[in-house]
Structure 1
Amino acid sequence: MIGIVVPAHDEQALIGRALRALKIAAAHEDLGAEEVRILVVLDACRDATEAVVHALGIDCLAIEARNVGIARAAGAQALIQRGARWLAFTDADSTVAPCWLARQLALRSEAVCGVVEVDDWSGYSSEERRAYEAGYLDAEGHRHIHGANLGVCSNAYQRAGGFPPLTSREDVALVHRLVAQGARIAWTNTVRVLTSARRAGRAPEGFASFMQGLCVSPQTS
């Protein structure tokens, strides 16, 4: 069985689109009809996120941690207990490609670090977009780490000790542990996710924080 974990804190506006994309990826023919379970970890939600999840027929787990590391770890542990051999992680404001899961497994690695693509640049200046694109390597062999686009086999995940209870950069900490253990990691841009360009995110040092901090130094003559 393949497990997908989606942490969510007050994501009623975006999570429906994310989950519909995951359902398409879970039905990809290259998975050979292997069971795929999607689990949304509702972390201190006070809006209608849970109602959206239930309406789509997807399982959820409620916690009150307000901590993305704890949320991802709780989801991973629940799925491992249900028999998941592979764990895939994304975010409630992100939309995976139809081949997202199939491509992760086809790489035959112990972990897969994919890339993200901003879904909408409206609201940003052309200078901000250029600054982002100049610093982002969308190519094979990149070294970006995104909780919105991460896969790992359950055995390697457990050997690495899982996600630490961090409010940000829990994904980076996990991958660094995997690297230290010599895990086979695919750093690929063939596993892709569209993600929100919102400036106000949920993790204090997450992708939205990075987008908020985009700036271009004044040009000098």
Structure 2
Amino acid sequence: MLGIVIPAHNEEDLLPACLRATKIAAQHPGLNGESVAIVVVLDCCTDRTGLIAAQFGVHTIDIDARNVGMARAAGASAMLEQGARWLAFTDADSRVAPDWLVAQLALNAEAVCGVIAVDDWREHDAATRDAFYRSYVDADGHRHVHGANLGVSAQAYRRAGGFLPMACSEDVALVDMLIATDTTIAWSAAPRVITSARIASKARGGFGDTLAALGE
């Protein structure tokens, strides 16, 4: 079984598109019928995020942490308890490609760091957009780490110790631990995810803040 983990804090506007894309990826014929479980970790949600997740028929977990590292860890633990052999992580403001899971597994690595793209730059000026594209490597061999596009085997995840309770950069910390435990990592542009470039970032220090800094 494959497990997909999506942390969410008040994501009623963007979660529907995220879940539609995720469910398409979970039904890709290239998975050869292997079951896929999806869990949305509701972290201090006060809007309709939980209701929307229920309408899509995915698992949910409620936590009161306001901490994305703890949210990802809670979701990963739930998937491991259900017997997941592979954990795939994305974000509630992101849309995975239809072949996202297939592309991760095809790399035959213990962990996969994929790339992201932005399709709506309306909240930023042209200078910020251009600065991002100048600095971003959208090719195999990149060294980007995105919680919105990350996969890891259950064995490697356990060996690395899982996500730390960090409010941001929990994805980087996990990858650092994977490297320290001699995990085979594919730095690939094959698994693709479209993510939000919103300025009102849900996690301080996350992708939204990175973009904001480019425009300064």
Q: Deviations over 1:98-151 (max 9, x none)?
A: 000011011110000000001211232221111111111111100000000000
Indicate the residue corresponding to 1:209 in structure 2.
Answer: 209
Secondary structure of the residue that 1:192 maps to in structure 2?
strand
Q: Which position in structure 1 is the counterpart of 2:100?
A: 100
Residues 179-198 of structure 1 aligned to structure 2 (within 5 Å)? 179-198=179-198
Which residues in structure 2 correspond to 1:72-83 (within 5 Å)? 72-83=72-83
**Would you say the 8 A contact 2:114–2:192 is kept in 1?**
yes
Describe how 1:46-57 pairs up with structure 2 within 5 A. Answer: 46-57=46-57
Can you list the C-alpha shifts for 1:37-73, whole angstroms capped at 9, x where unaligned? Answer: 0000000000010011111111100000110000000
CA deviations over 1:169-219 (Å, ceiling 9, x no partner) = 000000000011111100011111000010111111110111122226xxx
SS in 2 for 1:213: helix
Q: CA deviation at 1:4?
A: 0.2
Supply the AA of the counterpart residue of 2:15.
I
Contact 2:68 2:166 in 1 (8 A): yes
Identity, % of aligned positions: 55
Letter of the 2:31 partner, please give it.
L
Which residue of structure 1 lines up, in the alignment, with residue 61 of structure 2?
61
> Residue 15 of structure 1: CA displacement?
0.4
Corresponding residue pairs, total: 216
The structure with the larger Rg is 1
Asked if the contact 1:200–1:212 (Cα under 8 Å) also holds between the matched residues in 2, the reply is no
Q: Which amino acid aligns with 2:72?
A: R
Give distance in 2, aligned partners of 1:127 and 1:163: 34
| Structure 1 vs Structure 2 CA RMSD | 0.8
- What residue ranges of structure 2 are gaps of 5+ in the alignment? none
* Structure 2 counterpart SS, 1:6: strand
TM-score by length of 2: 0.98
